[in-house]
Amino acid sequence: MAIEQMKLLSLVGARDKEHDILQELVLCEKVHLDLENADTYGNNYILHEYEAMLPSAGRAQEENQAEIENVCRTSISQLERMAEGLELELNVVVDQIEEYTRPQALSDLKQLEDRLTPSIEAIREKKKQLERTNEVGVILGYIRKKIDFTALRNLSYIQYEIGTMSKDNSLHIKKNYENISALVFRIGEIQDSSEDIYMIFYLKELEEETSRLLKSLNWHKINIESDLEGNLETCKSNNEKKAEILKKQISILEKDLYESKLDMLKRFNKIYTRLQLELRIIELKSQTVVGNNVFILNAWIRSRDYQKLEERIAKVTDKYVMMARKPGDIGEEIMPPTLLRNNWFTKPFELIVKLYGLPSYHEIDPTPFLAITFCLMFGIMFGDIGQGFIYFLAGVGIAKKIPAAAGILKRLGISSMIFGVVYGSIFGLEDVEWLKNIALVHGGPLNTNNIMPILIAGVAFGVAVLTISFILGIINALRRHDIEGAFFGKNGVAGYLFFIGLISTVLSIMSVIPVPIILPIACMIMMLVIMVFKEPITHLIEGVRPLISGDKGSYYIESGFEGVETILSTLSNSISFIRVGAFALNHAGLFMAFKVMAEMVPSGIPEFIILVLGNVLILVLEGLVVFIQGLRLQYYEMFSKYFGGDGVAYEPLKITK
């Protein structure tokens, strides 16, 4: 349960082996490129050092990368078009791709294209004809008038059109018939539409005038096939026969192609993978530092993957040098990428952490702490055996579709069930006999003897988790070598002692601890002064001059406001966790309201329905509110103490981005 340890890989290789080496880097899917800091890695010095040590065998002819890229992209487009025609879904498959070269892929593509393209184009054309025939069949089905299409086609001086027009525009035509140079007939009605089908007749010499008229009426012409013969029923029958013939023709063509569809898909994927890999290698070549004989590439790699990568590269060439440096050997200004590594219980909660931000490489991974405290918070606020079991089942139900969310839901459900046993509650009922014997909170949370202890327990829980949050924040600050933040900042030792002083003051006022109230107040004042003067104190310890950087007046004003903000935030932090106990009471109280309503109706089905609806409402609405409140406490009260969330995600090289 930590952040993966990284090493900075500096790979030097002979230029004549550049393609093979870069191919291994992509296929291993273990390296994260770092191009922004390339200038700080001493590449020029390394380049000069290894020019003589790794002489290149040279190439007969330097390959034109732009030309190769264009060929690969064009070939991928051709392959995708063919796959679409065959209804195949292309995927990257890296098995045995290393021995499969670009020329072989292009040659195989040419063979496939020569063999399949005629059939694919024929199928595509037949499908277009079938689609058009089906559209004509639908239109013919809407027509309600008797029409003889043969007679219409034989008209000499009159032209006609069939199309659709809105009912409003048809009314406009009726009002202005004397000014229209055409005959308009309504011949059909389109279901679930505001438009009807019309037939318009006009003289051929008035075609231009009629066209302008129809355009003004938003006329949508329907292109009826010219080979329609006879009356409407005959046309429908012939159109159906035509559709059946096209379907048979398509089936015959597809049968010839699909007899070996699985083998064909493998060939398509193999070619597709090789061409995509070539594009990735070309992209990498543009990002390497190149000398006369060698090239250099910098990348981050997990420490445990370094040896495996070297073994892969050693299989393709011995003309390389690999060097690895730890992050501490490079400098603090360079930040390695972050890859979280958590166990089965805490891993789903990485989703919640990433919604806030990714921890930087030198930070403590907050996922384990969040997983434990979030489950405890949710269980305390939403403790019920039955309702928790429903959440668990919901998590099981969505496990395949949304694994991370399902994992969180199952764990929160289990936590709710555990605290349901503590409260003696199952589907809101707290009078079940067998639960009374094992419940720790007798009589339920709303028992007058339990209300104050539950609220105090919520505050005590808050003090505990905030204490751990302060400790984590101090550790993270020390990892950053931030002495000021670790010891004198509001989230450091001084801030924590101020927080403890505030809690002790309240406990002293309530006579819970036998400590004179002046002592915690004095501690708070002292810590506040230290936080205001944190910069000069730090500079004094470190021997840095001047003690205050910049304008002193601005510093004191800013520090003063920060002191006020510290007081307010500490008060807010202390009070916020009361809501943990308050929501536990609210959860019990909300169901009690439904229980009272159920008792007011006749027993039996009405009572049962009210209790079920109450549980549904609590599961959906209150469960969501409790989840959001848990997130708020994590993000605003706890993460603000120790988590920066400004890490860079570890994104290893792959064939496709």
Question: Which amino acid, 354?
Answer: K
176, 197, 230: which is the final residue of a domain?
230
What is the sign, positive or negative, of the torsion defined by CA atoms of 266, 270, 271, 276? positive
Same domain as 217, residue 166? yes
Contacts of 239 (CB under 8 A, 6+ apart): 133, 136, 137, 140, 225, 228
| 269 is a domain residue | no
Do 311 and 411 lie in a common domain? no
Point out the least confidently predicted range of 97-106, 228-237, 390-399. 228-237
Examine the domain organization and report whether 219 and 305 are in the same domain. no
Any idea what the CATH number is for the domain that residue 159 is in?
3.30.70.100
Q: Cβ distance 477 to 485 under 8 Å?
A: yes
Between CA 481 and CA 330 the distance in angstroms is 16
Q: What is the pLDDT of residues 212-224, one digit of tens each?
A: 877 887 888 877 7
Residues 6+ apart with CB under 8 A from 535: 484, 547, 548, 549, 555, 559
Q: Is the pLDDT of residue 473 over 90?
A: yes
Within a domain: 84? no
Query: Considering only CA atoms, which of 493, 492, 512 is closest in space to residue 504?
Result: 512
SS3 636: helix
DSSP 486-507: IIISTTSHHHHHHHHHHHHHHH
pLDDT on residue 253: 77
Which one is predicted more confidently, 518 or 155? 518
CB-count burial class (<10 Å; 0-12, 13-18, 19+) for 511: exposed
Judged against a pLDDT cut of 80, whether residue 431 lies above it is answered with: no
Same domain, 577 and 479: yes
Residue 652 belongs to some domain of the structure:
no
Beta-carbon contacts of residue 28 (< 8 Å; ≥ 6 apart)? 305, 308, 309, 312
Considering the domain boundaries, does residue 374 fall inside one?
yes
Q: Which residues of 378-397 are buried (b: 16+ CB within 10 A; e: fewer)?
A: bbbbbbbbbbbbbbbebbee
Structure tokens belonging to residue 363: 């930070």
* DSSP H or E run through 187: strand 183-189
Q: Are residues 405 and 309 part of one domain? A: no
To 10 degrees, the CA torsion angle through 578, 583, 584, 589? 130
User: pTM, whole model, 2 decimals?
Assistant: 0.78
pLDDT digits (tens, 9 = 90+) for 48-89: 667 766 666 554 345 678 889 999 999 999 999 888 877 788
Distance (Å, whole) CA 508 – CA 111: 88
Task: Give a yes or no: residue 303 inside a domain.
Answer: yes
Residue 538 lies in a domain: yes
Give domain status of residue 173, yes or no.
Answer: yes
Residue 60's pLDDT is 39
Q: What percent of the chain has pLDDT over 70?
A: 92
| Phi then psi dihedrals of residue 125, to 5 deg | -65, -40
Q: Return d(Cα 327, Cα 300) in angstroms, integer.
A: 10
421 and 569 housed in the same domain:
yes
Q: Please give the mean pLDDT across all residues of the chain.
A: 85
Of 563 and 650, the structure prediction assigns the larger pLDDT to 650
What average pLDDT does this structure show over 275-283?
Answer: 93
DSSP state of 451: H
Q: Judge if 559 and 599 occupy the same domain.
A: yes
- The 8-class DSSP code of residue 15 comes to G
Q: Does 126 score more than 90 pLDDT? A: no
Using CA atoms, how far apart are residues 288 and 15, in angstroms rounded to an integer?
11
Are 322 and 382 members of one domain? no
Q: Among 28-32, 170-174, 350-354, 489-493, where is mean pLDDT lowest?
A: 170-174
List the structure tokens of 381: 């606020």
Three-state DSSP at 284 gives helix
Question: pLDDT by residue (tens digit) across 494-513?
Answer: 999 999 998 888 888 887 78
Which of 41, 39, 49 minimizes the C-alpha distance to 9? Answer: 41
Domain count, the chain: 3
CA 629 – CA 556 distance, rounded (Å):
36
Domain assignment present for 121: no
The confidence score (pLDDT) of residue 291 equals: 80
Q: What are phi and psi of 286, to 5 degrees?
A: -75, -10
> What domain range is 51 assigned to?
2-56+292-329
Residues 314 and 348 in one domain: no
Q: Give Rg (Cα) of the chain.
A: 38
CATH classification at residue 299: 3.30.70
Q: Which of 201, 230, 259 is the last residue of a domain?
A: 230
**What is the separation, in whole angstroms, between the first and last Cα of the chain?**
28
Phi, psi angle pair for 48, to nearest 5°:
-65, -35
**Is the pLDDT higher at 559 or at 404?**
404
Total residue length of the chain? 657
Same domain? 504 vs 542: yes
Comparing CA positions, the residue from 367, 404, 370, 354 lying closest to residue 647 is 354
Which of 230, 258, 273 is the last residue in one of the domains? 230
- Residue that wins the pLDDT comparison between 441 and 22: 22
Judged against a pLDDT cut of 90, whether residue 574 lies above it is answered with no
Helices 518-532, 534-542: inter-axial angle, 10-degree rounding: 70
Do 525 and 615 fall within a single domain? yes
β 6-14/320-325 pair status: antiparallel
| Co-location of 465 and 545 in the same domain | yes
